[in-house]
Structure 1
Amino acid sequence: MELAHWLSRAVAANEEWSARFGSYSPHPATEIGDPAFAAAFEEFAARLADNYPFFHPRYAGQMVKPPHPAAVVGYLAAMLRNPNNHAREGGPATCDMEVEVVAQLAGMFGLTTHLGHLTGGGTMANLEALYVARQSHPDLGVAYSVDSHFSHARMCEVLRMPGHPVAVDAAGRMDLAALRAVLRDERIGTVVVTAGTTGTGAVDPIHEVVEIARRHRARVHVDAAYGGFFALLAGAEGIPAEPWQAIRRCDSVVVDPHKHGLQPYGCGAVLFTDPTVARHFRHDSSYTYFTPADLHLGEISLECSRAGAAAAALWLTFRVLPPTRDGLGRVLAASRRAATGWAERIEGSSRLRLYQRPDLDIVTYLAARPTLSEVDSATERMLREGMTDPDDPVYLSVLRADADAFRRRHPDLVRDRPDARVLRSVLIKPEAETELAGLHERIERLAGERSTRCPTPA
């Protein structure tokens, strides 16, 4: 699709719609002439150039990428009318679109019943899930893995709920024995499992956690903010089906369409499998809501004002790339193949080694060095030299791991410091699959000619 053409069509559609209500003269206080705006825009464009090329395969760092053109067109078209999806009277069309896309997200997880809405992102969505957890089990705590997103510990503090970190295994997944111990020794009302940790992309054994948590009468919340759309590939591309199929048996799930859903920031979502949790959100206002008596979006959300444009962008994207295996699933499959393909190349390299095998599309790796000190130094150098190379730059990110995490994964490394950084690449763009050979070659060069495979312990 030609972006410029459809952006102009979005502007034209808004003008056609506006004309239905009659002409009027804009107030002179808001008018700005083209010469004045041109100067401001030139400064703006120059400032915006100070950015990383998230769109390009050279960027293999954090979990960011540009939105799909369909999402850009949908967002702009709705933004020109600026609906507020707090209640239907703030934007009838986009509120209806939000209800429809949330139902599609629920279908992606196999939920037979649901209550949910879009949010500004995963942190807000997780806050809402934990808020309902607190209201459902007052005075009980929350268990989450030590590799879960830091917002869970933070939100427990905000909600004044006891938070209990749970150890992980050598693959970065929640350790079930450690979970049993926490559930036995602490007063836990909710267990948070992660479907795609932001560090390594690890997927907790959700199907096993559900069984354990239920025996202790605890709720289960799934933080699938990063990995949620991989539910479309459950049982394919080397992704086990069981953890994803178990989500329908959990109490709530969070997913971020602004990651694998190809949306602009911010667009998260929270879904509850029991619609009766709406009782925890109910409220009234003396100055709004002339819409029907049915629950509206503002009555099932902690947020008030929310961008209707986010719902419009997701709705239009789902019309052309639906959340199905043959739709968005094809995009995720390319990212997954890129990750597994790169893992194989790294395993065959004398200069690099995997930190751990990828569960999804996040690859973690390090220069082949014998000590943690040398690993950390090499990581810092590769990151700096890669990003500052004027002719052939490559953009990476890092993950810091403690010595115990290295011991579980690489017992041969000499642990001469308490922690070390490894390299981390989020292959969230499908183009990584076709550009993989060049990316791997570039990282190998950065690792340096003198690198040798670490010795295997006797």
Structure 2
Amino acid sequence: MNKSSRKILGKTLNQLSDWRKSFGKWEEDSALFVSDEKAEQVFSRLVQRLKCNFPFHHPIYAGQMLKPPHPLTWAAYAMAMSINPNNHALDGGPPSSEMEKESIAQLAHFFGYGKEFLGHLTASGTIANLEALWVARESQPKKKIAYSENAHYTHERMCSVLRVEGVKIPVLENGGFNLHEINPEEIGTIVVTLGTTGLGEVEPLDQILPWAKEHDIRIHIDAAYGGFFRTLQDSDLIDGTSWKLIEHADSIVIDPHKHGLQPYGCGCVIFKDPAVGKFYKHDSPYTYFTSEDLHLGEISLECSRAGAAAVALWATLEMFPLKETEGFGPILAKCRNAALKMHGLIGTSQKLKTYKKPELDILGYFPSEAKTTSEISAKSKKVFDAGMKDQTFYLSLYRVPAETFTRLHPEYEADTEDVIILRSVFMKPDQEEFVEELLKRIESHI
């Protein structure tokens, strides 16, 4: 947290302290007392333990999908947590519930939905996708749910939880879905991922949409990772085709705790047709009494949820609009440019080769001085370990079927079922200027 956000947080916490005192004096119960000495000892140990984390905040970390929350977002979250509102029933947090509704409306508008929609925040993208698939099951209870072989494992797992048969769709060499392999009469909902968590691939909604409409199949968009890239749909940085069709989907999931600058956990699910709210209908003998307005718990599978997540998201959207030239757009553009820049630099490298051109901000690449898939895997693991050992860079690894790999790179012999390559996720705008240095560090270990 920088000086500015510390100052703002301190000032606003003092203002909230004055608000607390306005209800009258009281003494905090002695059972809650902790001496300064003990607190200092515990927090000193805590600092040392937290230092064992990887440097997620620094551009040398290009490993997993871990994007630091904006300092002001963190401040808004901490400020709200000093009250600890619960966005279930309105009496658990009236202001934070209203902020959640306003934030959902902004996201729904961002995705092209009209005035009528239904949605809320969740603890994670997993829970958001669970709700979307649950509504899919309730909408067409005798039908299956289909998703591509590149979809997040969440979908297969949640189908198991919901006792719905899931159908895995093969992906063609050009990235299209092999729809001839499935029987449309059996499918009730198809999941389309706009930004896979493996390599950030954007699945072809333009191919799937007319097929789904022809067969009366619902479409669920999993944009948990890639959703905020819609800010760039009209730019020349990404192919905006699928992003411009997203408004035709029946439901959308996005994770603000990925590219939305939010702390964990903050997922979101939005339904185009508010009538799906009938599936949530339930009664509670001790909630929903304080207001005739909509209580978020009435349209959510979760009960208690952190109101602080809504407060932080609301504050962020006020500071960073969902626009191409202002707010989120310039941030996402730098992340995208970092991946493109790294792709271009590796193109002239004597030691590395890219697996394929990135579609968003995730890049796969591998040591090129090898002859077989087993050699590539061994060299990739060696580089991965070396960076973490000397703490000069942090990458991740990605497993690809050898058959798929050699289809793109036939010059290598497949002597294993899978091949492990290096993977970088460029989620921080700072990395646009750092990738040249990052590449030098990686190459020095090959």
TM-score range, shorter chain: over 0.9
- The reply on whether 1:336 has 2:330 as its aligned counterpart is no
Match runs of 1:22-41 below 5 Å: 22-41=24-43
- Which one of 38, 43, 46 corresponds to residue 45 of structure 2? 43
For residue 358 of structure 1, report the CA deviation from its aligned partner. Answer: 0.5
The range that moved more, 90-99 or 105-114, is 105-114
Instruction: Give the equivalent residue in structure 1 for 2:239.
Output: 240
Q: Kindly report which structure 2 residues correspond to 1:27-106, keeping only aligned pairs within 5 A, or say none.
A: 27-106=29-108
Asked if 1:121 corresponds to 2:120, the answer is no
TM-fit CA distance, 1:111 = 1.1
**How big is each residue's C-alpha offset from its partner over 1:100-122, in whole Å with a ceiling of 9 and x where there is no partner?**
11111111111113210000110
Alpha-carbon distance, 1:283 to partner: 1.1
2:323·2:329 contact (CA, 8 Å) conserved in 1?
yes
Tell me if the contact between 1:10 and 1:76 (Cα under 8 Å) persists in the aligned partners: no
Give the drift of 1:290. Answer: 1.7
Deviation of 1:288 after TM superposition, in Å, equals: 1.2
The alpha-carbon deviation at position 88 of structure 1 amounts to 1.3
Q: CA deviation at 1:307?
A: 0.3
Match of 2:380 in 1: 379
- Opposite residue 99 of structure 2, the aligned amino acid is M
- 2:186 aligned with 1:153: no
Contact 2:67 2:259 in 1 (8 A): no
Contact 2:372–2:415 (CA under 8 A) maintained in structure 1: yes
- Distance in 2, Cα, partners of 1:78 & 1:421: 43
Equivalent pairs counted in the alignment come to 441
Q: Equivalent residue of 1:336, what SS?
A: helix
Q: Which residue of 2 aligns with 1:406?
A: 405
In 2: Cα distance, 1:71 partner to 1:317 partner:
6
Provide the rounded CA distance (Å) in 2 between the counterparts of 1:207 and 1:68.
34
Work out which of the residue numbers 131, 139, 143 in structure 2 matches 1:140: 143
Gaps of 5+ in 1: 449-458
After the TM superposition, which parts of structure 1 deviate over 3 Å for at least 4 consecutive aligned residues?
Answer: none
- Letter in structure 2 aligned against 1:318: L
In the TM superposition, residue 168 of structure 1 has moved relative to its aligned partner by: 1.6
Stretch of structure 1 that moved more, 121-130 or 7-16 = 7-16
- Residue 352 of structure 2 is aligned to residue 352 of structure 1: yes
Matches within 5 A, 1:188-199: 188-199=187-198
Q: Which moved more, 1:2-11 or 1:326-335?
A: 2-11
* DSSP-derived class of the 1:81 partner: coil
Counterpart mapping for 1:378-397 below 5 A:
378-389=379-390, 393-397=392-396
Residue 3 of structure 1, CA deviation: 2.3
Bigger mean CA deviation after superposition, 36-45 or 293-302 = 293-302
Segment drifting more, 229-238 vs 87-96: 229-238
Q: Is the 8 A contact 1:230 1:332 kept in 2?
A: yes
SS in structure 1 opposite 2:359? coil
Question: 1:300 is matched with which residue?
Answer: 299
Write the distance in 2 (CA, Å) between the matches of 1:130 and 1:372. Answer: 37
Q: Which amino acid aligns with 2:62?
A: A
| Partner residue in 2 for 1:456 | none
Q: Percent identity?
A: 46
Q: Kindly indicate whether the alpha-carbon contact (under 8 Å) linking 1:237 and 1:333 is maintained by their aligned counterparts in 2.
A: no
In structure 2, the residue matched to 1:419 is 418
Q: In structure 1, give the amino acid aligned to 2:241.
A: E
The equivalent residue for 1:452 is none
Q: CA deviation at 1:180?
A: 3.5
TM-score w.r.t. length of structure 1: 0.94
Question: What do the CA deviations read for 1:181-203 (whole angstroms, capped 9, x no partner)?
Answer: 3134x611010000100000000
User: In structure 2, what is the equivalent of residue 316 of structure 1?
Assistant: 315
Question: 2:138 aligns to what SS in structure 1?
Answer: helix
2:11 matched residue in structure 1: 9
1:165 aligned to 2:168? yes
- CA distance, structure 2, for counterparts of residue 404 and residue 271 of structure 1: 37
Shift of 1:354: 0.7
* Equivalent-residue separation in structure 2 for 1:320 and 1:348 (angstroms): 39
2:236 and 2:343 map into 1 onto residues whose CA distance is 14
Compute the displacement of 1:55 (Å): 0.5
**Secondary structure of 2:17's aligned partner:** helix
* C-alpha contact (below 8 Å) 1:142/1:164 kept by paired residues: yes
CA distance in 2, matches of 1:304, 1:196: 29
Deviation at 1:292, TM superposition (A): 3.0
1:250 Cα deviation from its structure 2 partner: 0.7
**Partner-residue secondary structure (3-state), 1:271:** strand
Q: Could you tell me which amino acid in structure 1 is paired with residue 296 of structure 2?
A: L
By how many angstroms is 1:370 displaced? Answer: 1.8
Q: 1:124 and 1:14 mapped to 2: Cα distance?
A: 32
How far residue 398 of structure 1 moved from its aligned partner, in angstroms, is 0.5
CA shift, 1:309, in A, is 0.2
- Structure 1 residue 380: deviation in Å? 0.5
One-letter code aligned to 2:119: G
Greater displacement, 433-442 / 249-258? 433-442
Question: 2:172, 2:233 → 1: CA distance?
Answer: 22
Contact 2:237/2:333 (CA < 8 Å) preserved in 1?
A: no
Please provide the CA RMSD for this pair. Answer: 1.2
Provide the residue aligned with 2:222 in structure 1: 223
Cα deviation per residue 1:422-441 (whole Å; 9 max; x = unaligned)?
01100000001011210121
Distance 1:180 1:16 in 2: 65
For 1:39, the aligned partner's letter is Q
Give me the whole-angstrom Cα distance separating, in 2, the residues matched to 1:235 and 1:309.
33
For structure 1, which segment, 107-116 or 269-278, has the greater mean C-alpha deviation from structure 2 after superposition? 107-116
Contact 1:109 / 1:248 at 8 angstroms: preserved in 2?
A: yes
Measured after TM superposition, the shift of residue 414 of structure 1 is 0.3
Q: Please report how far the alpha carbon of residue 89 of structure 1 lies from its aligned counterpart in structure 2 after TM superposition.
A: 1.2
SS of corresponding position for 1:123: helix
Tell me the distance in 1 between the aligned counterparts of 2:234 and 2:412. 35
Query: Could you say what secondary structure the match of 1:356 adopts?
Result: coil
Unpaired segments ≥5 residues, structure 2: none
TM-score (ref. length: structure 2) = 0.97
In the alignment, residue 374 of structure 2 is paired with which amino acid? S
Contact persistence 1:204–1:243 (CA under 8 A): yes
Of 319-328 and 377-386, the range deviating more from structure 2: 319-328
Amino acid at match of 2:14: A
Secondary structure at the aligned position of 1:287 is classed as coil
